[in-house]
Each structure stands twice: as structure tokens, then as C-alpha cells.
Amino acid sequence: MSTTVFIVGVGAISAIGDNVAGCLASFKKGKAGIGDMVYLDSAYKNKIPVAEVKHTNEQLAALAGMSPKISRTALLSSIAAKEAMDDAGISNMDALRTGFISANTVGGMDKTENFFSEFLSNPGKGKLRNVVNHECGSVTELVADQLGIKNYVSTISTACSSSANAIFLAARMIRHNMLDVVIAGGADAITKFTLNGFNTLMILDSDYCKPFDENRKGLNLGEGAGYVVLVSEKIAKTLPKKAYCTLSGYCNANDAYHQTASSPDGIGSYLAMDGALKKSGLLPSDIDYINLHGTGTQNNDIAEGTAIKRLFDPHYPKMSSTKTFTGHTLGACGGLEAVFSAMAIHHKIIYPNLRLQTPMKELPFVPETVLGENITVRHALSNSFGFGGNCSSLIFSKL
């Protein structure tokens, strides 16, 4: 069994950039992608800010080389997955056992919403092509077909930990010699159903979110996609360029506390982080940066913060929530933040936690508020915690 899994390619699209380079440029400028709704047709326009990718479906389709008739989630997925595959530069992909493990939570719901609005007004209206790719797996299959991947294709949907779990599964399949190369991560588009659901839970901020601030009021929904290309050590040695880092640790845990809330004592968060550390053979003191799940809700931030205090006290690594830039991209956040964590190691940067003014009184640490550059990041921990207590942590390590 191969013990080392390498990250050799990255791809991303979000509210702050059409690709990885664009996202990194926005981080360096301190430019968030949150703002008024432009592309989503919602009753909450000009009332609830969101972090939309700055393109119409037709523009995304042109970038993806796909039809604008398919879902926005599939278009976002295609753009980021293709960038990651191209970045990896694997010339003989067809000769290798290649997998595509992708996550999402909304599937083709944006198109389904369009269908039903027309159908309900007139049963003779509504295009069936808008509902045939409704379920989450269809998004993955559409993109896998475009990428030409047939050896192994799978979809994971575990709420906000979805794409972290996709990366987790990819690593396990490589380590057990079942696959040579896996493109793993996830995508999600903002839909009316998602926006209305989170608004019903009363966890959306009517202003720009401020995770880990004493006066935080909730999250901002975002959309996007993020993928990494994972390979075995054998394949990594054949590539013309050096890998970005390794995936050294990963763990999924579930506290089963509540359908939509984390346990106040952060038991699921703690188990995920502690399990990832044990898998990697690292100590808490070895971690240089934590990419926080950091949604900005009252519940998440105290639960995650309590778990970090339990595990890292009294010596805390640098940490921040990149959701202050991208919004909470749901099924995509684990993939996007895996890309950001790998880039933190590769480019020696620490991202700022925007808009944090008053640190939480319950916690003895404060996330970074300014961009850190020329900082050696040996090990980065990325947290993705989902509804139902499904908590996952990934650890990326410098070569």
C-alpha cells in the first residue's frame, strides 16, 4: 500500500476569481466577492448579500465548453476540474486508472426551479430538459463525460463537508492501490431553495459576514467549485513538475447532535481534527495554519472555537476563515479551501479573516486579520463541518 498521496494540480472558481490565480490575487488585494444579488432571481434581492460567481450561465458555458442548458453547478464544476487537470499536466491520463470524485448539494436544482415556475403557471409549459439532471449524481456524470474519465466516477453529498469527504475518499483509493489519479473536490451554485432554507433557519447575515467576531450574525451564501488532483508516489515521480504538497491526514467524524447545528462543546469538530492529526502522525504544535470552517454563525464559531481550544491550547497556530472572501459555498467549500490550503503552503501565505473587529470573549485566540506573506507553512489543517454533525478535517503538508 502506497503511504504518500501527492497534490499535483489545483483548480478553482469562486466569487473572487475565475481560476486559482484570480482567487489568489483577490486575497492579496483584500477584495471580497460578497455583494448584492445579480444573477439569482430572488425575492431577497437587495436584502441579503451573497457571493456569486461574476458570470451569467451563458458566459460560464463558454468558459466550460458546455451547453448553457445544463445546470450552473455543472458549469462551475467543469471549469474548476478542467483547470486542475490541466495544471497537473498528466499526459497519459488514458493509460492510468483515473477517478473523478465530486461533491455537491444542490445538483441541477437551479434548472428545476425554472421548470416549476413555468409549469405551475401553465402545465403546458416547462422544459423537461431542466429536470432530467436534477439529482446530484447527474452533475458529476456530465462533467466526468466531458473530462473523459470512466474508470471510477462517484458523487458525495454530506452537506458542507461534501467535497472534503470526496478528497478523503480519493486519498484512500490511491493509498489502497485502487486508482492512480483522482480529480476530487466539489461544486455548488446558489439556488432559491438554498437561500430560502438558510433564511428560514435564521442564520443568514443581512450584512457581510464576520466569522469569529463577538457580534457575528450569520453567514453569506456563496457559490463556486474547487478541485485538487491527487496521485500516488509512483505517478508523482513521472511528472515534469514538482507536486504542491501532500495530503498527510484526514478524518471524518459525526457527533449526531442535531440536524442543522453543531454540538456546543464541539465534539464532532474535535474528533475530526484530532483524527486527522493522528492519521498524519503530527502533533497539534506541528500545524502552522488552520483554514477554519468559520461560517460566522453563533453556533458554528463557538463549537469550532471550543474544539480548537481543547486541542491546541495553549499554543495556537495562525488561522482564518476564507469564507469572508468567498461566502459559504456549501458542497464546494471543502474543495475550494483544500486548494487555498495547498496554495498557502506553496506560496507561503496566510489569508486574512476580513471584518473581524471584536474577538469572541469565550476564546483565547484571534484569527489573522491581515495577509501574511513569506511565512513558512509546513502543515495546514482545513476544516469542513456539515449539517447532521458530519465533520471532516484534512491536513496538507509541505514536501
Under 8 Å between Cβ of 305 and 360: yes
- Which helix (DSSP H) or strand (DSSP E) does residue 26 occupy? helix 20-29
5-236 belongs to which CATH class?
alpha beta
Which residues are part of the catalytic machinery?
Answer: 160, 293, 328
CATH topology assigned to domain 248-397: Peroxisomal Thiolase; Chain A, domain 1 (3.40.47)
Per-residue pLDDT of the chain (399 residues; tens, 9 = 90+): 568 999 999 999 999 999 999 999 999 999 999 999 999 999 999 999 999 999 999 999 999 999 999 999 999 999 999 999 999 999 989 899 999 999 999 999 999 998 888 888 888 887 788 888 999 999 999 999 999 999 999 999 999 999 999 999 999 999 999 999 999 999 999 999 999 999 999 999 999 999 999 999 999 999 999 999 999 999 999 999 999 999 999 999 988 877 767 778 899 999 999 999 999 999 999 999 999 999 999 999 999 999 999 999 999 999 999 999 999 999 999 999 999 999 999 999 999 999 999 999 999 999 999 999 999 999 999 999 987 789 999 999 999
| Rounded distance between C-alpha atoms, residue 215 and residue 364, angstroms | 16
- pLDDT score recorded for residue 2: 62
- pLDDT score recorded for residue 129: 82
Strands 372-373 and 5-13, bridge-based pairing: unpaired
| Rounded distance between C-alpha atoms, residue 275 and residue 272, angstroms | 5
- pLDDT score recorded for residue 305: 97
| Rounded distance between C-alpha atoms, residue 345 and residue 26, angstroms | 17
- pLDDT score recorded for residue 117: 80
Which residue type does 292 have? L
Query: Minimal CA–CA distance to 368: which of 349, 342, 341, 396?
Result: 349
- pLDDT score recorded for residue 287: 98
Whether the full predicted model's pTM is greater than 0.95, yes or no, is: yes
Query: Minimal CA–CA distance to 263: which of 394, 393, 105, 385?
Result: 385
- Which helix (DSSP H) or strand (DSSP E) does residue 345 occupy? helix 333-347
- pLDDT score recorded for residue 267: 94
Helix, strand, or coil here: 54? coil
Q: Is the peptide bond before 314 cis (omega within 30 degrees of 0)?
A: yes
Q: What are 320's three cell numbers?
A: 482564518
- pLDDT score recorded for residue 392: 97
Q: Where in the chain is the domain with CATH 3.40.47.10?
A: 5-236, 248-397
- pLDDT score recorded for residue 334: 98
- pLDDT score recorded for residue 388: 78
| Rounded distance between C-alpha atoms, residue 358 and residue 295, angstroms | 16
What value, to the nearest 5°, has the Cα angle with vertex 365 and ends 362 and 370? 130
